[in-house]
Structure 1
Amino acid sequence: MVDVQGTVADGFEPVRDAFAENFARRGERGAAFALYVEGRKVVDLWGGVRDADSVAPNADGGVDTGGGDGEAGDAVEPAPWTRETAQVVRSVTKGVAAAVPLLLHQRGQLDLDARVGSYWPEFKANGKERVLVRHLLSHRAGVPALDTPLTPDEAVDGVSGPRAVAAQAPAWEPGTDHGYHAQTYSWLLGELVRRVTGRTLGRWVAEEIARPLGLGLWIGLPESERGRVGRIAGVEPPAAPATAGEPRLRPKRSVAEAYQDPESLTRRAFGAIAPAPDENDAAYRAAELAASGGVATADALARFYAALIGPVPFGRRLFAPATVTLARTEESTGPDRVLVVGTRFGLGYMLHGPASPLLGPGSFGHPGRGGSLAFADPATGVGFGYVTNGMRRGVTADPRAQALVRAVRAVVTA
């Protein structure tokens, strides 16, 4: 039995129950969840172990967290998840990174309707002359994959990625359709921000967002913070049947088939770095990969999204109302050329819909492939942050995250 730590405000006890149930029924190994409402933190929970590969699920879908029945010294107790534990959050990073160009626009430093090539001349090559800044943010730029994937070393060197996407011919006429830029988003946004500001995207986040708000959040993990970051690992979901009101959220067969086809745009987009990098490697975590390399605590993500839509204690509001509108106004919708299923995107953010259910129609945020989720809901004043170390196969709508979404919805809309 996992001992859930932390606090919940009066009335939010069902959220704690849902979080605990993720360990008991859904194979959670280590996780944290935080929730802000109208700038006030009302949920702050964590439990399990820091390193996902230190435990295995037991027969009933829960986890055994160490010890054993051997003699003293036979087993090493896994390190527990603490309030300060951070994790790699994969594509949740995209939502943090997207705030940078939107804030630059808000400050008058970036025109969302300008051509990318006006800031980054090399990007105009091979039919990309008309790609707009808003196309990068809404996954309409047409470069979700590379003809020649980058090696893990090339992916993090800060030069090869921007050079590769600048030279890449688009997979469709830019601006006419959308497809999830799973990995290339790192180099598209990162280089644009560098050309506009002279700073790397990770440095901009650190100096303009994370430090002023006191966030345990990094796109480019400093060496000084390595010790607080746990190890992620792939885990299989338990076989227990879904209960009433909890639908099985499995990818459609067409998505699975696309992943199996090495020539599909799906496989090529997620395989833009090959072989797949080791996300537990220090060099990977230190790289400023805006698509997938962010490291954060649940509290940092919830506080970040709360600050996008309103003031938080000891921190200012980040987005003006007009910028919130930009973030959550639909730019792309329908069948996604990469994810196959229908998706909805605003400028840099995934919007509420069947592929990624959030709290309500006005919610905006981003899931991370395998489980983590963070978003804002302006209608209820919610900033939501969930971080896990046990990565599942799905890209969106993880059952553990969705259990928390349902619990929050029931409380804040009661």
Structure 2
Amino acid sequence: MTDIKGLCEPRFAAVRATLAASLGNDDVGASVAVYLDGQPVVDIWGGYADADRSVSWERDTLTGVNSTTKPMTALCALILADRGQLDLSAPVAAYWPEFAAAGKENVLVRHVLSHTAGLPDLSGLTAVEDLYDWQSVTAGLAAQTPEWEPGTAAGYHALTFGFLVGEIVRRITGRSLGEFFAEEVANPLGADFHIGLSAEDDRRVAPLVPPRSLTDEYASTAPPGPGGIRREYTGAAVRVRDANSVAWRRAQIPAVNGFGNARSVALVQSVLANRGSAGGVRLLSPQGCEPAWQEVFRGEDRVLRTSMSWTVGFGKFGNAFGWGGWGGSLVASDPDSRMSVAYVMNQMIDREQQEDNRGMEIIMAAYSGLQ
């Protein structure tokens, strides 16, 4: 039986059992957290921080959560909107004048946050290293022409989401997205989540482990559509070796390069599930949370090739909202139950080769504890 450490209230015993089963099967190391009414009811971890299973996963182990970073970035925008510094219905160019080029004068902030801005790809970038140059990337996005009329269709903005939202935040506050998140979200909450990781935290990082039978050359791609047809993508493919590199940790790519564990992910997102506060710290008003679960777009996503419901910054799934990361990490929040659930791991699964239900099984186990 896999040794599971940490806090788990008895009524959520199914969550502990689900993590133990996963660690006994697919997982190498992982953490799970459930926050209810802004307080932890589950905070558990187990397994190993390395593929060789020689280093234990500890309470303060961090790992890259890939696109589970997007909910963190979206929260920053919602905080600014709640403070009256950002109008979600205003043109992006109201804050970032250069962005009006190439027919983008009518792209609204909410289009950027709901993946409907028509800028799903970074044109002209051929190497992952290009992503580390913030000014170059954002200048390129400002000059780019939308693929479709903004607001009329959705296409997952896998990498561009973070640069677009991050530049809006920078124009308003004078701070990078990572700095704003650290100072206005992570520090007040005491959340151990980082967008741009410092060298002193490297020792705590559990590197991502590529899917079985694959190497660290394994790259993120858009899923194939009907008949196995892939959407053409000309940008740089991010590989596991890139996501595990020191350069990646130091950069700010606020769609994908957050580092944390389930505790920090669930804590931060519980702010939205709990009407703006967690652990006695209020970050925004109850009304300011509502865009997180109010649907902006429903229909076929041109990149994901599946039907999606997008809110301002999140995917919507029934009563819950949230998002997951390449390889398997996941966070979901339910404002009706005031619950947030997070699952963060190092063993990646290639969903084209193997079904990955690890995060969803954790979420369902958490719901069983509410009965």
60, 78, 86: which one pairs with 1:84? Answer: 60
AA matched with 2:278: V
- TM-score normalised according to structure 2 size: 0.91
1:73 corresponds to which residue?
none
Distance in 1 between residues matched to 2:227 and 2:132, nearest whole Å: 29
Query: How far did 1:409 drift?
Result: 1.4
Distance in 2 between residues matched to 1:398 and 1:322, nearest whole Å: 35
1:375 corresponds to which residue?
332
1:38 corresponds to which residue?
37
Runs of 4+ aligned structure 1 residues displaced above 6 Å come to none
1:98 corresponds to which residue?
74
Distance in 1 between residues matched to 2:164 and 2:224, nearest whole Å: 30
272, 278, 294: which one pairs with 1:312? Answer: 278
1:298 corresponds to which residue?
262
AA matched with 1:232: L
Structure 1 residue 393 corresponds to structure 2 residue 364: no
Unaligned runs of 5+ in 2: 214-221
Superposed CA offset, 1:279-305 (max 9, x none): 111110111111100001110111111
**1:105 touches 1:111 (CA, 8 Å); kept in 2?**
yes
Structure 1 residue 409 corresponds to structure 2 residue 360: no
Residues 49-60 of structure 1 aligned to structure 2 (within 5 Å): 49-51=48-50, 53-54=51-52
Distance in 1 between residues matched to 2:165 and 2:127, nearest whole Å: 19
Distance in 2 between residues matched to 1:370 and 1:257, nearest whole Å: 20
Distance in 2 between residues matched to 1:256 and 1:221, nearest whole Å: 40
Look up the SS of the partner of 1:285 in the other structure: helix
Look up the SS of the partner of 2:103 in the other structure: coil
Shift of the 121–252 alpha-carbon distance from structure 1 to 2, 3 Å rule, reads: closer
Superposed CA offset, 1:224-250 (max 9, x none): 21111110022249xxxxxxxxxxxxx
Query: How far did 1:410 drift?
Result: 1.5
2:216 corresponds to which residue?
none
**2:12 touches 2:369 (CA, 8 Å); kept in 1?**
yes
134, 146, 153: which one pairs with 1:177? Answer: 153
2:242 corresponds to which residue?
278
Look up the SS of the partner of 1:233 in the other structure: coil
Distance in 1 between residues matched to 2:316 and 2:284, nearest whole Å: 17
Aligned length: 358
2:217 corresponds to which residue?
none
Shift of the 257–324 alpha-carbon distance from structure 1 to 2, 3 Å rule, reads: same
Distance in 1 between residues matched to 2:78 and 2:300, nearest whole Å: 25
1:345 corresponds to which residue?
310
Distance in 2 between residues matched to 1:338 and 1:295, nearest whole Å: 25
Unaligned runs of 5+ in 1: 55-64, 66-77, 238-250, 353-360
**1:149 touches 1:274 (CA, 8 Å); kept in 2?**
no
AA matched with 1:23: L
Distance in 2 between residues matched to 1:367 and 1:348, nearest whole Å: 12
* Greater Rg by CA: 1
Structure 1 residue 213 corresponds to structure 2 residue 155: no
RMSD between superposed Cα atoms in Å: 2.0
Query: How far did 1:275 drift?
Result: 6.0
Shift of the 114–312 alpha-carbon distance from structure 1 to 2, 3 Å rule, reads: closer
Identity fraction in percent: 38
- TM-score normalised according to structure 1 size: 0.82
Distance in 1 between residues matched to 2:165 and 2:236, nearest whole Å: 17
Distance in 2 between residues matched to 1:383 and 1:36, nearest whole Å: 5
Distance in 1 between residues matched to 2:102 and 2:223, nearest whole Å: 34
Look up the SS of the partner of 2:299 in the other structure: strand
AA matched with 2:60: E
Distance in 2 between residues matched to 1:181 and 1:220, nearest whole Å: 20
Superposed CA offset, 1:381-406 (max 9, x none): 112111010112239x9410011111
Query: How far did 1:92 drift?
Result: 0.5
Look up the SS of the partner of 1:125 in the other structure: helix
1:126 corresponds to which residue?
102
